Every structure is written in C-alpha cells, then in structure tokens.
Structure 1
Amino acid sequence: MRLNRRLFLIGGGAVAATVLAERTFARPRASATTIPIEIRGRPIDHFSVTDQGRRRFGDLLFRSGLDLRCSDRRFGGFSGLWRSPEGRQIVAVADNAQWLTARVQTSDGRLSGLADAKLAPLLHDNGRPLSGTRYYDTESLTIADGVAYVGIERKHAIMRFDWGSQGVVARGNLVPLPERIREEIQNLPNNRGLEAIGVAPPRSPLAGAVVAIAERSPKHDRPTQGFIVTGPRRGTFSVRLSNGYDISDLAFLPSGEMLLLERQFSLFEGFRVRLRRVAAEAVKPDAEVDGAVIFESDSSHQIDNMEGLSVHHEAGETVLTLISDDNFSPLQRTLLLEFSLIT
C-alpha cells in the first residue's frame, strides 16, 4: 500500500493515511467462483502530458496504453502481470488472491480494450480460496512452461499452479525451499516480501530457475535480498537500491538479462517508476546486483503505482507491458501501458 499524492492534496497527510488505512482493511475479498466482468478501457494515446508527440523515453518507445475501469469493486489491486508470447492474452494477480484473465484487443497496432475478462480466486491445494487462508497476500506472478508461480507476502512463500492444463481452477502447491533460503525469506519484513518473481530463460546461466526478489531492505537504500529458489545454482544474492526506489517486479529478456521494475512514492511528487537492466551473468549466488537505468519517469508521465511487468515479442519487437496497482482505491487508476524496448 502506498500513499497517493491526490489523497494528500485533498485532505492532508494525516487524513490520507487514515483513508488509505481504512481502504486497506476494507480490501474486497476475491469472488468464491469464476465470474465474467466487463472492463472499459480508455485509450492512452500519449505518455507525456506536456509533450504529446514524444515517443522515446530512455530506452523505451511508447506504443499505447489503457486506463481500465470496471463497475465490480473486486476489480483492481493488480501486483503481478503475465502476457502470452504473442501478446493476445493477459493474466494478472491481485493482492487479494485473485486472478484476472482477459483477451487483449488492438486497433491499428495499439491497445484498444480487454475482452472476455474474468475474475477468479486463487485456490489452495485443498481447493479452498487463498483469500481465506494465511496465504492471502499475493504479490507477484510469472508463467513459464505451463506453470504459474506466485509470490506471497507476509507468509513469505511461493506457490506453483498447473496453469497450462487447468488455468484458474488449478490448485496451488508450495514450492519447497532449501533450508538456508527458507530461513532468510522468513526473516523478511512482514509487508516487504517477494514482490518480484521470474523464471530464467534458456540462454541464462540460471536457465529454468525461479528467481524472486524482496521489495526492500529494512534499512533505507540498503541492498534488498534476492533468491535463486530452484536449479543447481540455488542461493541468495542482493540487489542494490538507490534514490528511495523499491523493487516492484522483474522480467527476463531472452538473452538472460533481467529487467527490474522499481517504484517510489513521496507525498509531494506522487509516484515515480524506474527500469534497470541487469547483465545475465551478474545474477548468481552471493553477488550484489546492480544495473543501468534504462528509463525513469517524471511528473509529466501518465503513471500510477506501477507494480507488474511482462515481456513478450511481437513483430520483431521486444514489448514491455506494465500494470498498476490501484490499491482498490477510487482515487487511483489501473493503467496498462506498453512500450517497445530499444535493444
């Protein structure tokens, strides 16, 4: 949960904190069954509100975006995102243990809407919705080789779902963690857990390994912890943080390079977002990872609390898709933004 500048401006910091605390405790419970929903998508034609003809932002080219709205109050809170290899389907996980699935609609190569959208509960291995268990705080998502991996805060765990054959009705099973990794994960701050998760691609030195990173260190701008959870090179590493940014998500490029999505918030400047690019060979046990900044937002950019990142390839381009977590607040937005990566 992050304070929002609009709340601060309309009511003062103390009021904003109170309102958002109430929203947190009033987080809607996921539906007990799969339900269809209608999503309205308002096109975002320009990323900068002050330079509407500009397309390049750092190493990114803005393609298009959507401001997503839905009358069902259970819609929102999206913290993790996956987009299918051809870009036609999206899956998102919300922080109330809920799936969103939808078909991506385009017009003239730009996002135009989401169709066939559904909300569904994440299920425990006993068939019980995760929202009614201690694993209710789902914060990160990746899907690889037909398996969905979900990172869970507070209980600091990872669950795997047989997504390829069962989709939203798949039941989650805890991923076994080596003892050293399990002990370090359990020592993470309560609400600063596994915010980012990915599976290393075949060209990575960690090919096939599940990699997860905690949101932040307990100490300001100190390195946060990363975990190579599976594979022969299992172990821990650290990720350097700077300028008040926290880790929000990660995604791998086919080269094995890792993209880090980061965000920060201040009462006076609102949200900011940054992307770093990490060399494939840099992610290894006992290493401290850093990476070049390839994009950093400013106050003219159309962003919100950007928490989810996905990479796919389309017409010869590497496409990055970002989604925002509106914290189920009517004063924030659910944005879906897509960019081409300049390689």
Structure 2
Amino acid sequence: MARLFACLSLFFFLVPVTYVRGPVPPPNASQYITLEPIALDVKNPSRTGVGRLAFLGGWKITSDNGAFGGISSMLALRDNRFLMLSDNGTLIGFTLDETRHLALRPFIAPLPDGPAKPNEFARQNWDAESFLHDPQTGQFWVGYEHQHSIWRYGPSLARKEAAHYPKATQKWPENGGAEAMLRLSDGGFLVFSESASYAQGGYQALIFDADPSEPTSEAVLFGYQPPEGYKLTDAAMIDDKSALMLHRRFTPLEGVSAILSIARLEDFQAGKVATSIPIATLKPPVKVDNMEALAITRDGDKTIVWIASDDNFSTFQETLLLKFRLLKDKIPQKKSVPPRQNEKAGANPGFSSFEESE
C-alpha cells in the first residue's frame, strides 16, 4: 500500500502543472471549513518537536467548497485570523479556535482580479504562489506564476491597485515563478523563483528597490541555493536581520519531506549566491505533505511558526496546518569561512554542521 501511495503521489508532484484537474464536481459554494486535530507523529503521538521546532498543534482542514484546496501561501493576522491563498486565486479565511478546533467566521471567495479574465477556465492559469500584507496600509501583494507578475490589492482585497510584469521574470520557467516574497523594512522586496537556474549556483531571485507591482520599480539579480535536493516554496521574515525559508522535496523512495532553514538578510546581495541554515526536517513519520505556505506570529517574546500544505486538489493529499515554537537559543551560528567556488549544487558552504534533535 505504501508503494502504491508513493506512485500515485509521484504523479501529482511531477506533472508539469500547478494542480491536476479531475472530473468537474457539481458546484458547491459552501462557506464551512472543518478542522480535525492531528498529532505531529502518528507513530508517537506524544512527540513534542522536530529539530529546532517545538510542536504546539496541528489540524487537517477540509471544506465541501469546490474551490477549496491548493494552498500555496498564507498570512497569519491578528487574533488568530488566517488568510490563505490558493493556486486558483481563491481566498480562504477563518479565525482559528485552537481550544475547540473550530474555524470561526470562515469564508471562501475569489480574488477580485488577476492576470487573466476572471472566469473558471482562466483561474486555472492564475497560479498565485506568494502573498504579503502591510498591516499599516492594509495593502496586499500577490506573486503569480505562468503569467509572471506581481499584483497589489487595496485594503480588504476589494480591488486591484497595481500590476507589473517584471522583465527579469519573463524568462523564468512557466511553473517556476514568484514562489516566495519578502518585504524588507527599507521598503524593498525580495522575489524568489522556484526553478529558474542562476548561473553562479542555485536559483534566481530579485531585489526590488521599491514596490514590485509598480512598473517604475527596478530589480537586480542574485541567487539562492536551497538545501540539496529541495526547492523553495515560501519565506517569512523573523526580524529585520533574518528570514525563515521553507523548502520541499519529493522522491518515489522517500516520499515527501520539507526543510525549514534560516537565512541572514545581509547575505541577499546582488550578484551573490545566498544559502541558509537548516533547523528542522519534516519527514515521515512526522505529519507532512506538500508544504508550501509559511507564516510567523509572536506570542510575547516567542516566535511562532505556522506551516500549511498544498493538496494539489488531489484526493491523495491533505491540507494541513501545523503550529510550532521556534527554539531560537539552539540556532547554529554561521562560520566566517567563505563559500568555495563551484560548490556542489544544493550544498550549504560556510555553515557549521549540526545534528537535529528529534
């Protein structure tokens, strides 16, 4: 059975589209969202952590709404309010009641506009992958694949304010666009490609000097090298000096896994190749799926990490939401040794090695 599941899963991970469309079900506009609590480790329900992450809770999320699924990015707002964004441009919102395992004030609705006419067929090609929010202005930014572009939406996501198709992104692979975005404290943005190769190593990323949804913004290129065999799926700011990076991998023998790592913002420089420090690996028997969405919140002086999965609109996968506390006092430090030239793809040169505590 395990081998059969791996083979079926392989199809959904390797087909050259964002998600696989099966027989069209009858329309269902249900606004209900159901949460089912889950353990971190199904073989050891008492397990409390992985790597530098302390497990605080987890849920399997379901809905009968036909547009539900395909979560590629998310925002964790005030008062445990979550806003998730699907590949097909659908917004999924709810307030998480962790005690009663309920999704309060849920809604499932499409974005008001995107890089194609707003109809069902066109939405299959929107492929929304990254999502940012400015709590001061209320504005939102969405990064799209296929038609590589960055869009800005007004408060409450009521309307589009700006859209830009950066020249530097137009040669990116169709399914390898703006997989992750970071907004810097100086007003700049970082936009990461999932699979556009960078000549010096890793994959292409862009530093924008201003709002990337505005045609007047200018970008310079740099590289980001994920852990070996993995690709970046999302990123979130920890503070004004570092960011948490989420990566995923799938192989027929090992199945799906994810790596969380920490990158220093000062390493993201034009013409350079940045790496990051792995702090936790999620792999079976730990509950894991196609982990694509990442968010960070604060609980006093604690850093809370939220990770969600993209089920690819497949009955063989699940939409998961996992909650962790980042154990900051155990984060390894970077060595002063510079990276070697022509480093093997996927390696993390210049970082100290360490063993993850299980």
TM-score, with structure 2 as normaliser: 0.79
1:70-128 deviations in whole A, cap 9, x for unaligned?
122221001011001x3521111100111111112121xxx823122111111228995
Within 5 Å, give how 1:253-268 maps onto structure 2.
Answer: 253-268=238-253
Cα pair distance change 1:131/1:184, threshold 3 Å: farther
Q: In the alignment, which residue of structure 2 is the partner of 1:117?
A: 106
CA distance in structure 2 between the aligned counterparts of 1:15 and 1:274, rounded to whole angstroms:
19
1:121 maps to a residue whose letter is P
Question: 1:239 corresponds to which residue?
Answer: 224
1:99-118 aligned at under 5 Å gives the runs 99-107=91-99, 112-118=101-107
CA contact (8 A) 2:245 2:262 kept: yes
Q: Distance in 2 between matches of 1:249 and 1:66?
A: 20
Q: 1:130 to 1:241 in 2, by over 3 A?
A: farther
Letter in structure 1 aligned against 2:182 = G
Give the one of 65, 72, 80 matched to 1:88.
Answer: 80
Alignment of 1:197-212 (within 5 A): 197-200=181-184, 202=185, 207-212=186-191
Corresponding letter in the other structure for 1:228: I
Amino acid at match of 1:71: D
The aligned amino acid for 2:195 is: R
Question: How many angstroms apart in 2 are the aligned matches of 1:102 and 1:294?
Answer: 29
Instruction: Specify whether residues 50 and 17 from structure 1 end up closer, same or farther in structure 2 by C-alpha distance, changes over 3 A only.
Output: closer
Q: Does 1:42 align with 2:36?
A: yes
Contact 2:10 2:251 in 1 (8 A): no
Structure 1 residue 218: Cα displacement = 4.8
Does residue 1:194 correspond to 2:157, yes or no? Answer: no
- Superposition pairs for residues 64-79 of structure 1, below 5 Å? 64-79=57-72
Query: How far apart in 1 are the matches of 2:121 and 2:54?
Result: 42
Shifted more, 66-75 versus 117-126: the winner is: 117-126
Counterpart-to-counterpart distance in 1, 2:319 and 2:30? 18
The aligned amino acid for 2:203 is: T
Question: Does the CA contact (< 8 Å) of 1:252 and 1:311 recur in 2?
Answer: yes
- What is the rounded CA distance, in whole Å, between the counterparts of 2:169 and 2:115 in structure 1? 24
Q: Does 1:230 align with 2:209?
A: yes
* Percent identity over paired residues: 23
Q: Do the aligned partners of 2:142 and 2:150 also contact (CA within 8 Å) in 1?
A: yes
Distance 1:93 1:264, change over 3 A: same
Displacement of 1:26 in angstroms is 4.0
1:123 aligns to what SS in structure 2? coil
Q: 1:169 to 1:341 in 2, by over 3 A?
A: same
Structure 1 residue 283, shift from structure 2 partner: 1.6
291-300 or 224-233, which deviates more: 224-233
Residue pair 2:139, 2:157 contacting (<8 A) in 1 also: no
Q: Which AA in structure 2 matches 1:256?
A: K
Aligned CA-pair RMSD: 3.3
Match of 2:152 among 160, 179, 188: 160
TM score, norm. by length of structure 1: 0.82
Match of 1:138 among 113, 128, 132: 128
Kept in 1: contact 2:21–2:313 (CA 8 A): no
Q: What residue is the counterpart of 1:51 in the other structure?
A: 44
**Corresponding letter in the other structure for 2:103:** L
Contact 1:76 1:334 in 2 (8 A): yes
Q: 1:21 to 1:289 in 2, by over 3 A?
A: closer
Structure 1: runs of 5+ lacking an equivalent? none
Go from structure 1 to structure 2 and tell me whether the alpha carbon gap of 1:124 and 1:172 turns closer, same or farther (over 3 Å shift): farther
2: CA distance between counterparts of 1:250 and 1:141?
A: 10
AA at the equivalent of 1:122: L
In 2, the alpha carbon distance for the partners of 1:27 and 1:217 equals: 32
